[in-house]
Amino acid sequence: MKRIFLLLTFMLSFVQLRADEGMWLMTMIKRLNGVDLKKQGLKLTPEEIYSVNNSSLKDAIVQFGGGCTAEMVSKEGLLFTNHHCGYGNIAALSTPEKDHLTNGFWAMKKSEELPAKGLSVRFLVRMDDVTKRINAKLNNSMSADERKAVIDAEYKAVQTENSENGKYSVVVRDFFNGNEFYYFVYQDFKDVRLVGTPPNALGKFGGDTDNWEWPRHTADFSVFRVYADSNGNPAEYSPNNVPMKPKHALPISLKGYKPGDFAMIVGFPGRTNRYLTSFGIEQMVNKDYPAWVEASKVAMDVMKKHMDADQATKLDYASQYASVANYWKNRQGTIDAVNKNGTIADKKALEAKYMTWALLPENQAMYSGVLTDIKANYAQFSNRNVERNYSSQLQRNAKYIPVAYQLGSLLKTYADQDANGKAAMKTKVTDAIERMYDGFNVKLEGEMLNSMVNLYQQRVNKGDSSPTLMAADAKNLSTMAYSSIFATKESVMHFVENPDRLKIDADPLLKLANGFVEDQKLGAEKYAKVDEAFAKNSRIFLDGLRKSQPEKAFYPDANSTMRLTTGSVSTLPVRSDRNYAGIKAKNNYYTEINGMVAKYKKGDEEFDLPQDFLDLVKRKDFGQYADKKGFMPVNFLSNNDITGGNSGSPILDGQGNLLGLAFDGNSEALSGDIIFDEKLQKTINVDVRMVLWIIEKYGKAGHLISEMTLVK
């Protein structure tokens, strides 16, 4: 590996206009100056946070499954993440007979740990700035295609230079709407196994009712282990693999916390739009998100109907339903928060200040017209954006369309082969079929297809719609699907044994899927010039916005790259419409286990609790994990700046010890992906003491605790 001495020389201090705003790239902190983090409570040196050539904090943080964060907590490859992050893998490893999702699971020895098929974790090896290199070859007179060609060529060159012949995955990303560029070198481990999970009643306590709300009482964690080959390198699953040994594992604090204590979070936040214009926010909350909310609710209702009727279906669709429900509530909450908090007015005030700067003679030519142009762009593609939201939910939830489209092309190629060609392809084809129909409920999917296409026909503007979907008989699409080659796994397998090119060419479901996809491509072409102009205008606007505020340290929007956010343990004002279970206002920064029991409703899908858990609480058998005041803590608040993708991220004290796992935000600030509210925006964390107590006392898996380093 190249010896690149990229130890951060960043200063451990920075200015923030709002106290804890910002999801900072590790190498960007060096830009900042102002408030001394050491005075706030940070004890770590720069090298202990980020180092290329030595063990550092970054080496304990991984991207989990592509959409969450996890942290290494032992030298034997043990990791913690959220229960909702492991949810899909836990459900996939469950059956009605061995229902780990409902009943929980604890491996009492490594040989009992369950391989999670398709799950991988990603370690950051190093990152670097290639902005000057790429921008030197770009200019604003380029067309979108010319610009893309230059960027793609540079991306490919950077990847080749840093992958070490495929040893590492190299990703190059643009930041600030294409004004800056960084590359990230990763190492991916693909043998990850489930070690332990609390039952769903604990891991998802409160369900959709408490989701995005405070106070929370949720044991939102799960435990996995990463495996490597005998040399410590990434490898596909093998019974001969051994637990990987991370460069750093987080010590775990049992000391607790109080309001004002320093706290930082490191993770992989997914996406924010902090520099979205007022026009973009208006489009989002008035048109885009209402479409998302409505389509999600229709899909949820179909799923729940069939999930409630059959346990196997409930397990098969548990992860999909949870994900759709989470974003359904998030999107509606965002609409409400934006309207309540005056977000659009705040953006307009910022844009007015920008225009004062942009109209100065030296800035006018480049920057004064872009806001007007962006407003015009939104007017041009407003209805198209609404169609995209209904379309995306249709494609996500109506599986008959992606199944037919993806398998249709493969089966046509298969049908055209001679006998030898078919024999060579057969394994690939059957594997694809098994994967596509895993957990596929025919009746549910038929009803889903009818419902989602019917909604699309009712809500989408005809001029921006798919003619194929508009012409479909939405009431009878399920009947068409059931008569298709793609109706069931068995019907597709029958075609594999008896391939007929004429039959597949005539298949009505495949025609629907292909027509819909082709319509989407034509729609993209229709708006290509507008999208090109919008991308350029957005890039120039953000360039100007940053130049207009030279005193401000700007951070880039989240884009699933590793970020650090600092803050402190924090309280939230009490609301009259929430169940605080006896919490005093001054203590509204944590919840404890008696409050969890106070919410208990026997037999309730969201608030039931296992009897053995209730018995443990009654005995007050909290061991070394009780707070010094005697109670068992459950969740706590901090004012760190996070978003989706941060789920499972470690929240750390100033010495880098694990305090808990971030798992949610609060409804008062669901506009947080657009604008940071320093008074209202909070992170909800599960206390690591609750995690360890459940592992040892409830799960009786104390052998896992012995792997960890506890700081008392």
- Active-site positions? 84, 220, 647
Burial tier of 138 (Cβ tally within 10 Å: 0-12, 13-18, 19+): middle
> Pick from 15, 9, 106: which is nearest to 612 by CA?
106
Could you tell me the sign of the dihedral formed by the alpha carbons of 231, 232, 234, 239, in that order?
Answer: positive
Which tokens sit at 232? Answer: 């410590």
Number of H helices, E strands in the chain: 27, 22
Residue in the structure block whose two tokens are 């089966």 = 411
How far apart are alpha carbons 512 and 485 in whole angstroms?
A: 13
Cα distances (Å, whole numbers) of residue 563 to 125, 461, 566: 14, 40, 10
Residue 196 region by backbone torsions, left for phi larger than 0, else alpha for psi between -120 and 50, else beta: beta
Q: What is the CB neighbour count within 10 angstroms for residue 236?
A: 9
Q: Is 697 helix (H, G, I), strand (E, B) or coil?
A: helix
How far apart are alpha carbons 171 and 694 in whole angstroms?
A: 38
Residue in the structure block whose two tokens are 């928060």 = 337
Contact of 390 with 295, CB cutoff 8 Å = yes
Q: Which long-range contacts (CB under 8 A, 24 or more apart) does 473-476 make?
A: 474/450, 475/450, 476/450
C-alpha dihedral over 299, 303, 305, 311, to 10 degrees?
-170
Which tokens sit at 417? Answer: 């082969």
> Pick from 224, 289, 285, 280: which is nearest to 93 by CA?
224
Classify residue 368 by its DSSP letter. T
Q: What are phi and psi of 686, to 5 degrees?
A: -90, 130
How far apart are alpha carbons 563 and 265 in whole angstroms?
A: 8
Residue 387 identity (one-letter amino acid): E
Query: Dmax of the chain from CA atoms?
Result: 76
Residue 168 region by backbone torsions, left for phi larger than 0, else alpha for psi between -120 and 50, else beta: beta
Q: Is 172 helix (H, G, I), strand (E, B) or coil?
A: strand
